[in-house]
A and B are shown apart, each in its own frame.
Chain A
Amino acid sequence: MKSALSAMFVLATACSTALAQPDAAPRAPGIESSGYVWNQPDPDKDAALAHRPDIEQGKIAYEICQGCHQSDGSGRADAIYPSLAGQHASVLIKQMMDVRAGRRDNPKMHPFVGEWVVSVEEVANIAAYLNQLPISLDNGKGSGNRLERGRELYENDCASCHGKNGEGNATEFYPLVAHQHYAYLYKEAVMIRDGERRNANPKMVIFIRDYSNEDLKAVSDYMSRLTLPAGTRQP
């Protein structure tokens, strides 16, 4: 019964891991660098975008994510984990690959989206799985105190890209913002305005450059309350 150690296992010793610190996230050039081009081609991102996704495999690969983003993709308002359910797959792929490459700084998430954890194909599968989940409607909202100001700002500066109803644009990699958690929208908006979200679109930075925190709160609150009319969801 007990045979000698098989050659297979001897070979496998070559694969033993001696990797870097778990928390060491890379830092790639972003909006602070001269010559920054938003959403420029990237081999991993482009391969994921080209992959024909498998939603069932995406559900399995998503297990790694659901300890924070929840099994229904609704995220957590209190922990500022964004809602992902129903988000455009292109947006999800771009953001995952930006975190992975260090264009978007997220040291908490980085160890869970590294290439040693999820393959390019799995990133695409996860994105497709999340995209077809129903959008969670009980997202966190703001105070509701300045919604009229929020609407004015949104319609003037945001709707041309993110859509009248906050539906975003899959082709353009513009995220769905309707039903997103207020706390997440506000936190990211501040970071984008202040140059701390290094994968931001410079066009957006120009739009909100002069926004006060109060205005960012008002527009984030307004966005968090947007709803998509039936039939407007893009596939």
Chain B
Amino acid sequence: MKHSRMIAAAACAGLLLAASSASAEVVGDLERGKAVAAEVCVACHGADGNSPVPMFPKLAGQHADYALKQLQEFASARRQSDIMKPIVEGLSARDMADAAVFFASQQPSPGQVDDPSMLETGRRVFNEGNPDQGVPACAGCHGQNGVGNARYPRLAGQHPTYVLDQMQQFADGRRTNDKRLMQTIASRLGETETRAVAEYIASLEASK
């Protein structure tokens, strides 16, 4: 039902955008979302959400539910970011939903692996976790292909630099909007395995 409303909104936008990939939960206007992205997000995240800067996350193909939650929590400072806070303060609730739906509809670009020698370790951690340290497989929540779902973000093709930064923020308690799940995992996973899994995530097929 919600899905059909979303499709209707997309159809109204009348653009040649991949409307079907947007979230079934978040209702947004692709055309408005594209305009918000072009005005507010483009410099760091790219016009289509494929960020050109390794420090800033790719948003293309990210689940709208997850992206919207993050925007709301930047605004409420539940997720703290000196960069994002002033930016989201300029957005209405509608802007956020529209931008989230727009980015969800975009095609993610392939990730960039910096150190292929780490991929095998990364694959093991991603698919099996580290039982000795009490680390579950990443695949359990984020899916075998790292595509995530409405509850857990897409990881496939993400910049390793960004993934590592977030893991560090979870580990030292600067990022806390995760029900403590990622805080636990990041604090248990060793440095080498964390780096390896970030490389493996970059190697995962980014296309939907």
Q: Which residues of A contact B (CB under 8 A)?
A: 1-3, 5-6, 8-10, 12-13, 15-19, 22-23, 60, 63-68, 71, 76, 78-81, 107-109, 111-112, 114, 116-117
Contact = CB atoms under 8 A, between A and B. Distances in A.
B176 interface: yes
Interface string B184-208: 1001100000000000000000000
Contacts of A76: 131
Contacts of B39: 1
B129 A67 contact: yes
B169 to A, nearest CB: 13
Contact of B76 (A12, A71, A81): A12
Contacts of A65: 140
Nearest to A62: B140
B176 A17 contact: yes
A8 B90 contact: no
Interface-central residue, A9, A79, A81, A114, by most chain B CB under 10 Å = A9
Contact of A13 (B78, B92, B93): B78
B93 A67 contact: no
Contact of B180 (A10, A71, A107, A114): A114
Given A63-B152, A116-B180, A117-B180, 7 more contacts: A1-B92, A2-B40, A2-B91, A17-B177, A19-B180, A67-B138, A67-B140
B137 interface: yes
A65 B137 CA distance: 10
B76 A22 contact: no
B159 to A, nearest CB: 23
A107 B134 CA distance: 9
The 4 nearest A-B residue pairs measured at CB: A67-B140, A67-B136, A108-B134, A79-B131
A63 B140 contact: yes
10 contacts: A1-B32, A1-B35, A1-B39, A3-B95, A9-B75, A19-B176, A64-B181, A68-B131, A76-B131, A107-B134
Contacts of B149: 63
B75 A22 contact: no
A60 B134 CA distance: 21
Contacts of A9: 72, 75-76
A12 B78 contact: yes
A79 B10 CA distance: 47
A22 B186 CA distance: 10
